[in-house]
Amino acid sequence: MLKRILNIGFAKDEAGNANEQEAVARKIWLAGLGAYAKSMQEVTSLSEKGRCMFDELVFRGREVEAQTKERVEKTAEQTRSAMQQQLHYQVQRFTGLEVSVLQGMEEKLDRLTEVIAALEAQQAAQETADVKAEKEPAKEVVKETVKEEHADAKTAAAKRVVGKVPETPVK
């Protein structure tokens, strides 16, 4: 089939010409295969170059990222330091006290708050104990009152029963 396609346009009347035509067709075929192989080689080469270039870009990107992070951290630290100095200056200007004095006062306030909380807890415990102490005698008074009322009720009931006794003897 290939011979048939390649023979189009060639004259078949000469025998030597047919071999020459076959040789030309074969050269064209081989040139096409060579072009295909060369293009595949170029694609592979470009692909390899692309991979190498990508790896190089990644490497450079890591370097730039590290440098950028370092600069950002340095700038952030400088900014924090400047802000802290400005804050200390404003606090001192506003209160007339140094920041260290204010920190000492804050610590004292914290200790006082703890002492007050402990005293409040102690006072609450004392009040609870006082209420319990008041309840115990009250229970005794209630018990005695109930006993007295119960005894009075028994006496009253006995008097009523005695008053209702029939005058006629029972036979």
- Of 70, 96, 122, the residue that ends a domain is 96
Co-location of 118 and 152 in the same domain: yes
pLDDT of 2 higher than 80: no
Full domain range(s) for residue 55: 1-96
- Residue ranges of alpha helices (H) inside the chain are 2-6, 15-95, 99-163
Contacts of 41 (CB under 8 A, 6+ apart): none
**Is residue 66 within 8 Å of residue 58, measured between CB atoms?**
no
Q: Residues 121-171: pLDDT tens digits?
A: 999 888 887 777 666 666 676 677 777 777 766 676 666 655 555 556 555
* Each residue's pLDDT tens digit, 50-76: 888 999 999 999 999 999 999 999 999
**Domain match, 107 and 45 both:** no
pLDDT, tens digit (0-9, with 9 covering 90-100), for 79-118: 999 999 998 888 888 877 777 777 888 899 999 999 999 9
Regarding whether 4 and 76 lie in a shared domain, the answer is: yes
Whether residues 64 and 17 share a domain: the answer is yes
Residue that finishes a domain, picked among 96, 115, 138: 96
